[in-house]
Amino acid sequence: MLSAATPTPGPRRQPRSLHSEYQHFIDQRIEEYKDQLPRLDILAIGDEAAAELARSEQIQLTEVVLRDQVDAIIRRRLKLPSFRKWRERHLARRAAQIQPSHWGLNAHDPVVLLAELVEDDDPILVVGAGDGACPLFLAARGAVVHVVDPDLAAVYGLENRAITESLGGRIECEVVPLTAYAAERRPFVACVVEAASVADLAATGRRELINRLKQATPAGGCHVVMPAANPHAGAHISTDALRTLYADWEVVVADGGAGGKRRHAGFIASARHEDA
């Protein structure tokens, strides 16, 4: 576990309602279906919707009414579940998703401690899509996660997995070179840095990126640095090496579960108070 020096959570906000989650699920599936259809097929559904409304003696045919009817037709075609059926499946899935092991994470990984501090809809920045474990786990715990990564394929894979896991509404991705990423553009309460994502950067570029992230971190925020899921794949840099970039912050290193510190296990860093 990380030490007691790590910030403790304060009063928590109420989580997003299940009805809101359900409506987002329905809207997302409908929009995905529309995106896959040729324009002529969409127009044909529009004609079908207008005909149904005419048969129901709809008094005023407005654009909003027609759009809602189109969505109703698509919902029938996709056989989307009722709220009751969705709720049963959703709660069972979330119960699994909030467990670190569901994503292949260790119970003592620093990102797991961060998840304990997350309040519903807290914005968290993740640098590097990685294998998707960190952003998806944090999203399942209620965070709104923004992922930046220069690799389009990695981002595309993460977005698809987020949709499959019904977490698409809590994850957004941006493909951008990390050397050019302006961290202050998007507010966040915590930042997760996947070590593998900065391994290809030159030492100067890595230091400049971390400094920009530190400067954009609000008071009380923290950084979590996670080791590579597969250190033998591609470029590699150890989290111990990245700790040197946080010499001016308070750093707590993850342990192996029995109180002993592990090398290259990742760490959590917080800005020191000015009076420290």
Where residue 5 falls among pLDDT bands split at 50, 70, 90? very low
Whole-number pLDDT of residue 265: 75
Long-range contacts of 99-104 (CB under 8 A, 24+ apart): 100/137, 102/137, 102/140, 103/132, 103/133, 103/134, 103/136, 103/137, 104/131, 104/133, 104/229
Quick check: 260 pLDDT over 90?
no
User: Are both 157 and 36 inside the same structural domain?
Assistant: no
Residue 34 lies in a domain: yes
User: Are both 186 and 64 inside the same structural domain?
Assistant: no
Q: What are the pLDDT digits (tens) for 113-166? A: 999 988 888 999 999 998 999 999 999 999 999 999 999 999 999 998 998 888
Whole-number pLDDT of residue 244: 93
Structural domains in the chain (count): 2
User: Are both 187 and 233 inside the same structural domain?
Assistant: yes
Averaged pLDDT of the chain:
85
Minimum mean pLDDT range among 11-25, 163-177, 234-248: 11-25
Whole-number pLDDT of residue 19: 85
User: Are both 154 and 259 inside the same structural domain?
Assistant: yes
Residue 22 lies in a domain: yes
* Strand bridging mode 249-253 / 267-271: antiparallel
Quick check: 261 pLDDT over 70?
no
H helices present in the chain, as ranges = 18-36, 39-55, 63-78, 83-97, 110-117, 133-140, 152-164, 203-216, 239-242
Instruction: Name the more confident of 47 and 12.
Output: 47
Last residue of one domain, picked from the residues 83, 110, 137:
83
Residue 91 lies in a domain: no
Q: What are the pLDDT digits (tens) for 172-228? A: 999 999 998 988 878 899 999 999 999 999 999 999 999 999 999 998 899 999 987
Bridge partners, 271 (sequence order):
249
Helix axes 18-36 and 83-97, enclosed angle (nearest 10): 100
Whole-number pLDDT of residue 235: 60
Return the number of other C-beta atoms located less than 10 Å from residue 224's C-beta: 26
pLDDT above 90 covers a percentage of the chain that reads 49
Quick check: 25 pLDDT over 70?
yes
Residue 92 lies in a domain: no
Report the candidate in 84, 144, 137 with the shortest Cα–Cα distance to residue 106: 137
Q: What are the pLDDT digits (tens) for 35-56? A: 999 989 989 999 998 888 888 7
User: Are both 142 and 232 inside the same structural domain?
Assistant: yes
pTM: 0.73
DSSP 145: E
Query: Looking at this protein, which amino acid is placed at residue 172?
Result: E
**Average pLDDT, integer, range 103-120:** 91
Name the residue range of residue 25's domain. Answer: 18-83
What tokens appear for 90 in the block? 């959703």
Residue 95 lies in a domain: no
Residue 233 lies in a domain: yes
User: Are both 58 and 116 inside the same structural domain?
Assistant: no
Whole-number pLDDT of residue 6: 45
Where residue 87 falls among pLDDT bands split at 50, 70, 90? confident
Quick check: 111 pLDDT over 90?
yes
User: Are both 37 and 105 inside the same structural domain?
Assistant: no
Instruction: Name the more confident of 100 and 53.
Output: 100
Whole-number pLDDT of residue 28: 83
Whole-number pLDDT of residue 23: 87
Whole-number pLDDT of residue 262: 55
Residue 142 lies in a domain: yes
Whole-number pLDDT of residue 59: 64
Residue 186 lies in a domain: yes
User: Are both 74 and 156 inside the same structural domain?
Assistant: no
Helix (H, G, I), strand (E, B) or coil at 38: coil
CATH number at residue 197: 3.40.50.150
